[in-house]
Amino acid sequence: MKNPSQNIQASVFQFILMIGLALLSTACIEEDSGPNSEKSGEFSLEFDNIVGEETFGLAPRTYTNARGEEFSITTLQYFVSNIKLYTESGEEYVVPQEDSYFLIQGSDRDTRFAKLVVPEGDYSKVSFVLGVDSLRNTMPVEERTGVLSFDPSHGHSGGGMYWGWNSGYIFLKLEGTCPLISDDQQGDPTGKKQFKYHIGGFGGYSAPTLNNIKEVTMDLKQGGLAQVREGLRSNVHLFVDVMQIFDGPNSFSIPEHPTVMFSDFSVNVANNFPGMFRHDHTENFSKGEEGL
């Protein structure tokens, strides 16, 4: 969907690039003078969904898990929150919580970035929560803004990432079909061969219950530090392997567990979540999203 303004942006971008190159060539290469924590730059975590060794796509595209079960995905959504950045010397930057909630939707690639403005720095580690922290799960409604709201234009579409009967957000929702699912009560009685994984559970409000909140920490040293500088964008590109939900340490069979929601078994599924995330590479000093 190219439009004229994008073309103009592109040519402006090229122009800036040329000037930049010209400046570089005259002033020799102005080596990055190091971060100044008084300044801020753009930072993003990119949640690039994949399925095993393939790119991500919704039905009718099919995949096959390690047990040889063929499946298609119709819905993939998950919350990411409470992002923290760490420098090599151990300094920590905690993103202000109210700016720290993102809903990544498989059906909309534009949602794959968690975009932030953070102090300049060379960050070697990043952590985030897959899900919504327990505190926010218990906050009054007016504190549940943005993707956490029920607002038709900003919220989690259709209110589908929240349990009304047992107040709390659904952290990850994966739905699809698998032809091996039976048509009886143990499978999908509607005969549509659907699987539904709605995983949540923040630990309970007045009585303790299961907690499926997962904090994920990504070491960036291998794939590249995130060098955040004013006026530039640093993007930490993560691969999020949906196949790990089935094939991770707590591997399970889709037709044996076609529906997992608020139940003890959900703990097994959630324990596969941290293994979904892999830091592939970092794009530093980027001038826009197009190049990422």
Partner 1 sequence: MLAPKSGFSILSKALPLLLLLAVVAWSCGRGEEEPELFQGFVQPEGFPEPLYNMSRNEVTKAGFELGKRLFFEPSLSRNNTIACGSCHIQTAAFTHHGHDVSHGIDDQLGIRNPQPIMNLAWSEGFFWDGGVFDLDLVAINAITSPVEMDENVPNVLRKLREHPEYPGLFKKAFGTEEITDARFFKALSQYMLMAISDQSHYDQVRRHEAEFTEEQLAGYRVFQKSCASCHAEPLLTDRSYRNNGLAPNPLDDQGRYDVTLNAADKYKFKVPSLRNWEYTAPYMHDGRFLTLNRVIEHYRSGLVDSETLDPVFRNEDGSIGIQMSDSEKEQLIAFLQTLTDRDFVTNPLLAEPVLNSPFNK
167 binds partner 1 (CB under 8 A): yes
Nearer to partner 1, 128 or 169 (CB): 169
Interface with partner 1, residue 1, by CB under 8 A: no
Residue 6 in 3-state DSSP?
helix
* Closer by beta carbon to partner 1, 109 or else 154: 154
Residues 206/141, Cβ–Cβ less than 8 Å? no
Residues 6 or more apart in contact with residue 183 via CB below 8 angstroms:
189, 191, 193
The interface region with partner 1, picked from 51-59, 144-152, 214-222, 239-247 by CB under 8 A, is 144-152
**How far is residue 237's CA from residue 224's CA, in Å, rounded to a whole number?**
10
Cβ nearer to partner 1, comparing 13 with 163? 163
Binder among 209, 219, 249, 285 for partner 1 (CB under 8 A) = 209
Q: Which residue has the tokens 């327990």?
A: 134
Contacts with partner 1 in 215-244 (CB under 8 A)? none
Residue 233 C-beta: closest distance to partner 1, Å: 31
Q: Token digits for 228?
A: 């955040």
HEC assignment per residue over 11-29: HHHHHHHHHHHHHHHHCCC
40/268 with CB nearer partner 1: 268
From residue 231, how far is each of 59, 68, 69, 236, 240 by CA, in Å? 39, 48, 47, 17, 28
Measured CA to CA, the distance from residue 232 to residue 39 in angstroms comes to: 11
Region 178-207 residues binding partner 1, contact defined as CB under 8 A: 204-207
* Per-position x/- string for 101-140, each x denoting binding to partner 1 as judged by CB under 8 A, each - no binding: -------------------------------------x-x
CB 284 within 8 A of CB 35: no
Q: How far is the CB of 210 from partner 1 (least distance, A)?
A: 6
Would you tell me which residues interact with partner 1 (CB under 8 A)?
A: 138, 140-142, 144, 149-152, 155, 157-160, 162, 164-167, 204-210, 262-264
